[in-house]
Structure 1
Amino acid sequence: MLLISPSTRAADRTKVNNTTNLNNAGSWTGGVPDLSNTAVWTNAVTGANTSLLGGDVSWQGIRIADPGGLVTIGPGSTLTLSSGPAGISIDMSAATQSLTIQSGLTIKTAVGQLWNIASGRTLTLNTGLFTRSTGATLNVQGAGTVNATSIVNDTNGLIGTWATIGAGTTVRYATMDGSSNIIGYTSGTAAATAAGVTDTTGLVNYDLAAVGVIGTGASFNTLRYTGAAGTITGNFTANGILTSGSGALTLSGIVTIGASGELVLTNGDSSSARDMIFSGSIRDGARGISSLTKAGLGNLTLSGANSYTGLTTISRGKVSLTSTGTLGSTSGGTRIGLSGRLSLAGGVTTAESIWLDDVTNAFSGGLLIENIGTNTLTGAIRISSSTRWQSSGTLNVTGGISTTNGNSGSSFVVQAATIMNITGKPLALGGSGTLYMDNGGKTIVLGVVGSTYGANSLYAGTLQTNVANALSTFAAINFSVNYAASSATLDLNGFDQSVGAISTGTYSIHSTYDRVITSATAATVTTGLLNTN
Structure 2
Amino acid sequence: TVSGLTLSAASANVISGSGTLTVNGDATLNQGSIAPVLAGTMNLLKTTASQTVTLSNAASTFTGLTWIQDGTLSVTALADAGANSSLGAATGANAGILIGNGASTTATLAYSSASSSSSNRAILLAGTTGGATIDSGALAGLLTLSGQAYGIVVGAKTLTLQGSNGTTASPNVYSGAISNGVGTVALTKAGLGGWTISGSNAFTGATTISGGALNVQNATGLGTTAAGTTVSSGGTLELQGGITIGAEALSLSGSGLANLGALRNISGTNTYGGLVTLAAASRINSDAGVLNLDVSTGSAVTGTFALTLGGAGNGTVSDPLAIGTAALIKDGTGTWTLMPSAVNTYTGATTVNNGVLAVDFSQAGVATNIISASSVLTLAGGKLSVKGMSAATDSQTFASTSTTAGTYGVLSADNNSATSLTVALGAWTRNANSGLNFDITGAPTVTFTLSAGLSSASGI
Query: TM-score, normalized by length of structure 1?
Result: 0.56
Q: CA deviation at 1:473?
A: 6.6
- For residues 248 and 220 of structure 1, the distance between their equivalents in structure 2, rounded to whole angstroms, comes to 20
Q: Report the alpha carbon displacement of residue 303 of structure 1 after superposing the two structures with TM.
A: 0.7
2:53 is equivalent to residue 187 of structure 1:
yes
CA apart distance, 1:298:
1.3
What's the counterpart of residue 188 of structure 2? Answer: 293
Q: Distance in 2 between matches of 1:347 and 1:393?
A: 9
Residue of structure 2 aligned with 1:213, choices 77, 80, 102? 80
1:416 & 1:500 partners in 2: Cα distance?
Answer: 27
Q: Is the 8 A contact 1:267 1:276 kept in 2?
A: no
1:414 aligns with 309
- Structure number with bigger Rg: 2
Please name the residue that 1:198 is paired with: 65
Q: What corresponds to 1:504 in structure 2?
A: 401
Identity %: 24
After superposition, where does 1:118-137 map in structure 2 within 5 Å? none
User: How far does the alpha carbon of each residue in 1:197-227 deviate from its partner, in whole angstroms, 9 at most, with x for none?
Assistant: 7235845742222222344243123211224
Aligned residue for 1:284, secondary structure, equals strand
Residues 516-531 of structure 1 aligned to structure 2 (within 5 Å): 516-522=412-418, 523-525=420-422
| CA deviation after TM superposition for structure 1 residue 454, in Å | 0.1
**Structure 1 residue 444 displacement after superposition:** 0.9
1:266 deviates by 1.0
Distance 1:229 1:387 in 2: 34
Q: Deviations over 1:272-331 (max 9, x none)?
A: 899421111111143x22211111111111111111110111111111122221111111
- Given that 1:194 and 1:211 are in contact with CA atoms closer than 8 Å, whether structure 2 keeps it comes out as no
d(CA) in 1 for partners of 2:284, 2:168:
25
Q: 2:236 is paired with a residue of what secondary structure?
A: strand
Measured after TM superposition, the shift of residue 412 of structure 1 is: 2.0
Higher relative contact order (CA 8 A, sep 6+): 1
In structure 2, the partner of 1:433 is: 326
Measure how far apart 1:251 and its partner are. Answer: 1.0
Q: Provide closer, same or farther for how the CA distance between residues 251 and 418 of structure 1 changes in structure 2, counting only shifts above 3 A.
A: closer
AA at the equivalent of 1:340: G
Is the 8 Å Cα contact of residues 248 and 273 (structure 1) preserved in structure 2?
Answer: no
Q: In 1, distance between residues paired with 2:169 and 2:65?
A: 26
Q: Which aligned pairs between 1:56-67 and structure 2 lie closer than 5 A?
A: none
1:403 matches 2:282:
no
Aligned to 2:264: 370
Q: Which amino acid aligns with 2:180?
A: D
Secondary structure of 1:290's partner? strand
Count of matched residue pairs = 344
Return the TM-score normalized by structure 2. Answer: 0.64
- The change in CA–CA distance for 1:324 and 1:473 in structure 2 (over 3 A counts) is closer
| Residue segments in structure 1 that go unaligned for 5+ positions in a row | 1-155, 159-174, 177-183
Kindly provide the CA deviation profile for residues 96-130 of structure 1, in whole angstroms up to 9, marking residues without a partner as x: xxxxxxxxxxxxxxxxxxxxxxxxxxxxxxxxxxx
1:280 matched to 2:176? The reply is: yes
Deviation, 1:235, is 2.0
Amino acid at match of 1:401: A
Contact 2:274-2:300 within 8 A present in 1 as well: no
State whether residues 234 and 253 of structure 1, in contact with CA within 8 Å, keep that contact through their aligned partners in structure 2.
yes
Shift of 1:157: 8.2
Instruction: Tell me if the contact between 1:270 and 1:298 (Cα under 8 Å) persists in the aligned partners.
Output: yes
Aligned to 1:231: 118
Amino acid at match of 2:159: L
Say whether residues 1:253 and 2:147 are aligned partners. yes
CA distance in structure 2 between the aligned counterparts of 1:185 and 1:232, rounded to whole angstroms:
25
Matched, 1:490 2:386: yes
Distance 1:225 1:444 in 2: 44
Paired AA for residue 357 in structure 1: L
Tell me: CA distance 1:524–1:195, structure 2 relative to 1, closer, same or farther (3 Å): farther
Alpha carbons of structure 1 residues 374 and 312: separation in structure 2 relative to 1, 3 Å: same
Q: Which residue of 2 aligns with 1:475?
A: 373
Match of 1:446 among 339, 356, 359: 339
For 1:471 and 1:157, locate their aligned partners in 2 and report how far apart those are by CA, in whole Å.
Answer: 66
Call closer, same or farther: CA 1:243–1:419 in 2, change over 3 Å.
Answer: closer
| 1:242 Cα deviation from its structure 2 partner | 1.0
Q: Distance in 2 between matches of 1:496 and 1:209?
A: 67
Matches within 5 A, 1:308-327: 308-327=203-222
Query: What residue in structure 1 maps to residue 231 of structure 2?
Result: 336
Task: Report what 2:84 is aligned to.
Answer: none
CA contact (8 A) 1:207 1:224 kept: yes
**2:290 alignment partner in structure 1:** 394
Which residue, out of 350, 368, 382, partners 1:457?
350
Q: Partner of 1:379: helix, strand, or coil?
A: coil
Pairing 1:145-164 to 2, within 5 Å after superposition: none
Contact 1:500 1:529 in 2 (8 A): yes
Query: Deviation digits for residues 180-209 of structure 1, max 9, x if unmatched?
Result: xxxx74335677458657235845742222
> Partners of 1:195 and 1:349 in 2: how far apart?
43
> Residue in 2 aligned with 1:78?
none
Q: Distance in 2 between matches of 1:387 and 1:278?
A: 27
Shift of the alpha carbon at 1:369? 2.1
C-alpha separation in 1, matches of 2:246 and 2:79:
34
Structure 2 letter corresponding to 1:219? L
Partner of 1:514, secondary structure, is: strand
Instruction: Give the Cα separation in 1 of the matches to 2:426 and 2:172.
Output: 57
Match for residue 129 of structure 2?
none
> Compared with structure 1, are the counterparts of its residues 272 and 341 closer, same or farther at alpha carbon in structure 2 (3 Å cutoff)?
closer
Letter in 2 for 1:267: G
Query: Offset at 1:417?
Result: 6.5
CA distance change for structure 1 residues 266 and 486 in 2, over 3 Å: closer, same or farther?
closer
Amino acid at match of 1:253: G
Q: Please tell me the root mean square deviation across aligned C-alpha atoms, in Å.
A: 3.7
**Distance in 2 between the 1:417 and 1:336 partners?**
22
Counterpart contact for 2:225–2:249, Cα < 8 Å: no
